[in-house]
Amino acid sequence: MAKKVVIIGAVALGPKVACRLRRLDAEAEITLLDRDDRISYGGCGIPYYVGGDVNDIEDLCKTTSHTLRDAAFFKNNKGVTVMTRTEALAIDRRDRKVLVRHLDTGEEEYLPYDKLVLATGARAVRPPFPGADHPRVLTVSDLHDAERLKSQMAAGKIAKAVVIGAGAIGLEISEALTDLWGISTTLVEMEDQVLPTLLGKCIARLAAAELTRHGVELLLETKVLEVAENEENGKLLVRTSAGNLEVDVVVLAAGVRANTSLAREAGLAIGTYGGISVDRRLRTSDPHIYAGGDCVEVRNLISGENIPMALGSLANRQGRIIATNINGGQSHFRGTVGTFCLKLFDFGIGKAGLTFRQARETGYDPVYAVVSQADHAHFYPSSELIYISLLADRKSRKILGIEAAGKNGDAVKARVDTVAVLLRHGVDVDEICSLEIGYAPPFASAMDVVNNAGNALDNILAGGSRPVDAADFLYEFRHKTVRVLDVRGEKEATPFMAKYGERWLNIPQDQLRRRVEEIDPEEELFLLCDTGPRSYEAQVFLASRGRMKTRNIQGGFAMIRLIAPDFV
């Protein structure tokens, strides 16, 4: 008899399970249901729809060959039954059936299943401040709010906006509002950096600088206390710990939470972080029920913790695995290393693994190196800088994470991805130094930026390089009297000497050997060059001449001029 498979949730994982299962099993009776009328869409495309890169919302619901993935599509192309506007109310695990309500008619019925798949996704968190449920406090985790937001902008009704939450969605939406629509946007974040769960401070500062450069007002360490409507002018008054803002719309991007009420009520195991617990075959605690996507917890392969991870890419991979297993196969989802990327105005940003803070919380002794280097051979005409922060455990030398940013987003992502895919294999610093990625001058350097990130970290671990973050240098330089030794050429150093006088010492690298006696062995010095290698070399040389009190500014001036454009 044909197997009955019911899938609850029809956005990303659900349709993937349905289509893959159909290809494996021509006879199975597959039913895909969703509360919404919009199904099978690229949710990660919403910010691009809002920002205008994607014109029509239906473009997010189409196949590569421009066919709308609606119920008829699933029926005719896939042989899959779709029920939209159908809500799953309860799971009867003993009799293996799901009680559903058809929202348009109010009718209820039981759908029997042999295997059930929970693809219930996640929903936007609404923080508990008064006014969080105001109708003009929009979330953009569903298409309907996104449509509302875009139509209001298109109607010219929005001049000012507040975005709450500087996570990925918050950043993407801030760009969307600012870039195409020219809306004066303030981004409010409780933590002291953007992308606090995704990036360490160093690359986060680059992201913050990119927001600022494009006119987004960024309020860090700021809490939203209340949203209220000003009855006189109809504006929204946003009270924050940093003062009040009057705007036309508030976009809430304070994270998402797994939708698990159905699973909970059915008595399925729920994890510590609120997602459905699944094994490596993506089965819940009931062997007839699978779950995947934003509603489950997955193992972080670096920290060992099980956490929810709301990413369309994981949902798709998991969907394929669930279909294989429902069909009697043995396919495993082993976990995630948290690979992530983001476009932010002219920057691509990527990361994988743990941040410095997460690594320390996990019990590692993390050390990181920051490098800046051109993505392509420096003599090749088209090249852009890439900034990489590479994190390892001091003792084991095991790589714990990588973060990167730069203007050539494909090239940034490439460097992150090559390290990301190795993380689960337990890669160490030395392997990154020799990492064998393709080389040709139009696409890389002979010693690529990712190799040099490994080399820089190796030098730090070996004790030869004693680094300081560019931001920490800026803080100390502004608040203390420590001087800079600039080993760049005279021409590069002159404007700095003019501005900072005696605090800015310039000895070009090619003069350092003969002028070393000019440097007091007891003086603390910050060493600076363009991107870092020459200041490191100077540090090593100075140490060999008894001048040990130097710190090498990681990423060099290439980093400083991004995070502190007014420094010179």
CB of 15 to a copy of itself, least distance (A): 11
Comparison of 360 and 395: residue with beta carbon closer to a copy of itself: 395
Comparison of 139 and 408: residue with beta carbon closer to a copy of itself: 408
Distance CA 188, CA 194 (A): 9
Comparison of 196 and 319: residue with beta carbon closer to a copy of itself: 319
Q: How far are the Cα atoms of 118, 202, 232, 547 from residue 556, in angstroms, in the given order?
A: 50, 13, 52, 20
CB of 197 to a copy of itself, least distance (A): 16
Q: What is the DSSP string of 312-325?
A: HHHHHHHHHHHHHH
Q: How many other CB atoms sit within 10 Å of the CB of residue 331?
A: 15
CB of 562 to a copy of itself, least distance (A): 17
CB of 9 to a copy of itself, least distance (A): 15
Please return the burial class of 516, using the count of CB atoms within 10 Å of its CB with bins 0-12, 13-18 and 19+. middle
Comparison of 340 and 473: residue with beta carbon closer to a copy of itself: 340
CB of 40 to a copy of itself, least distance (A): 12
CB of 130 to a copy of itself, least distance (A): 34
Strands of 300-422 (E only): list them: 306-308, 340-344, 347-353, 366-374, 385-393, 399-406
CB of 269 to a copy of itself, least distance (A): 23
Comparison of 100 and 519: residue with beta carbon closer to a copy of itself: 519
Comparison of 275 and 556: residue with beta carbon closer to a copy of itself: 556
Q: How many other CB atoms sit within 10 Å of the CB of residue 244?
A: 11
Whether 17 contacts 7, CB under 8 Å: yes
CB of 228 to a copy of itself, least distance (A): 35
Comparison of 379 and 502: residue with beta carbon closer to a copy of itself: 379
| Cα–Cα nearest to 70, from 37, 96, 22, 103 | 37
Comparison of 255 and 348: residue with beta carbon closer to a copy of itself: 348
Distance CA 278, CA 272 (A): 12
| Cα–Cα nearest to 411, from 456, 331, 347 | 347
Distance CA 343, CA 2 (A): 45
Q: How many other CB atoms sit within 10 Å of the CB of residue 540?
A: 14
